[in-house]
Homo-oligomer: A and B are copies of this chain.
Amino acid sequence: MKNRTIDSYSEFELIDTISKKITLSHSKNIIVGSGDDSAVYNTNKNAVTVTSIDSFVENIHWEKDKQNYCDIGWKTVNAAVSDLAAMGATGRYITIACNLKKSMLYDDFLLLIKGFIKATNVLNIDIIGGNLSRTKETTITINAIGEINKKSGKGNIMKRSSATIGDKIALSGKIGGAAAGRYLLSNKNIKIKNKNLIKLFHKPNARVDIAEKMLNCGVKCAIDISDGLMQDLSHICNDSQVDAIIEKTDIPLYKKSIEILGLQKAYELGLNGGEDYELLFTANQQTLVELKKNKIAFYVIGDIIDRKKHKRSSTISLTDGEKIYKISQGKGWDHFQNEQ
């Protein structure tokens, strides 16, 4: 076991190692520490602050030469702010650390900045700080800061750990589109390069438009689908100590994805593709009624059914009406082991 490298461990094992070593000094002010989409701490009597850091790496989170830098700027800001939306927060400020390759073209640098600014304008947030360094590969790290109004949120925050037995599992929108776009781009054998699917991959939108409203309607548990439905649902189930069942045919897929890639591939990308930045949430019937009243669209895809049966990990069952596939651990996007 001596001299093992970190590559022998999954991202989540390493995060777990860190989490276990951290004890908080200011715990009375911290409402949510590390381990959720964002951390939450008290700032004043009307609001709590929500903050999250996220890194994006060339050739992992985007492919050099396949994506223009304006889109990369757009996407990284939306992905960072999506972590705030997953808690029910409204974005306020971001700081951006750009580690840039020496060989980056100045024109690409300008496009990257343009993308950052376009996204912050649309999301109504401000860039209040940054850092530039020179590195061997380009990485962009964004820290996002937002807030939740205590009154409108009624003192609540959407957390991964708040799923309750009897809750319905729902999605704020269709999934698998971004992954289908990525698949079209990387697969030379497929001639149809559907622009809408590719746009879903290149220019995702953080669901800040509905995040605070969902909180107001009573949603207590959410996560963003950046790692894939199965992976992110397993985060909810493990953190909430519950098991879940998903009705495969209720998963909302993009028609174009099914048309071009076939039903099986479209499901595969919907279940495990990630990068959708839709919100996956759980809610009771009363809350679902409230969401409908407030014209927030959603798709019910399953149920929180039981206390977690297995010690190691929650069980997520996938059914297509006939068969049930047991999945002991969600298979999604593990940044240490699934990448090339």
Knowing A55-B141, A113-B21, A141-B131, the reply to whether A39 touches B95 (Cβ < 8 A) is: yes
Max chain B C-beta neighbours (<10 A), residue from A30, A49, A105, A130: A130
Knowing A18-B113, A41-B128, the reply to whether A96 touches B53 (Cβ < 8 A) is: yes
A3 CB within 8 Å of chain B = yes
The reply to whether B53 and A129 form a contact with Cβ atoms under 8 Å apart is yes
Within 8 A of B (CB), among A186-215: none
Residue of B6, B100, B132 near A106 (CB, 8 A) is: B6
- Docked Cα-Cα span, A139 to B135, in Å, equals 9
Residue of B30, B130, B336 near A128 (CB, 8 A) is: B30
The reply to whether A15 and B130 form a contact with Cβ atoms under 8 Å apart is yes
* A125 proximity list for chain B (CB < 8 A): 25-26
* A39 proximity list for chain B (CB < 8 A): 93, 95, 128-129
Knowing A3-B107, A4-B106, A6-B100, the reply to whether A52 touches B132 (Cβ < 8 A) is: no
How would residues 79 to 122 of chain A score, 1 for a CB under 8 Å from any chain B CB and 0 otherwise? 00000000000001101110110111111011001100100110
- Docked Cα-Cα span, A334 to B9, in Å, equals 37
Q: Interface size on A (CB < 8 Å)? A: 77
Residue of B51, B99, B121, B134 near A129 (CB, 8 A) is: B51
A14 CB within 8 Å of chain B = yes
Residue of B26, B113, B134, B135 near A17 (CB, 8 A) is: B113
A242 CB within 8 Å of chain B = no
Knowing A39-B95, A137-B136, the reply to whether A105 touches B52 (Cβ < 8 A) is: no
* Shortest distance from the beta carbon of A171 to any chain B beta carbon, whole Å: 24
8 smallest A-B Cβ distances: which pairs?
Answer: A44-B44, A143-B143, A39-B128, A53-B95, A141-B141, A7-B102, A39-B129, A55-B97
A26-B93, A41-B93, A99-B141 are known; give 14 further A-B pairs, CB within 8 A.
A7-B103, A8-B106, A17-B113, A22-B127, A33-B128, A41-B92, A49-B49, A53-B95, A54-B131, A55-B133, A55-B141, A60-B134, A97-B97, A132-B335
Q: List 27 A-B contacts (CB under 8 A).
A: A3-B105, A6-B109, A7-B102, A14-B109, A21-B114, A25-B121, A25-B125, A25-B126, A33-B126, A33-B128, A39-B129, A41-B93, A43-B44, A44-B44, A51-B129, A51-B143, A53-B96, A53-B131, A53-B143, A56-B133, A57-B99, A97-B97, A99-B99, A99-B139, A133-B139, A136-B137, A139-B139
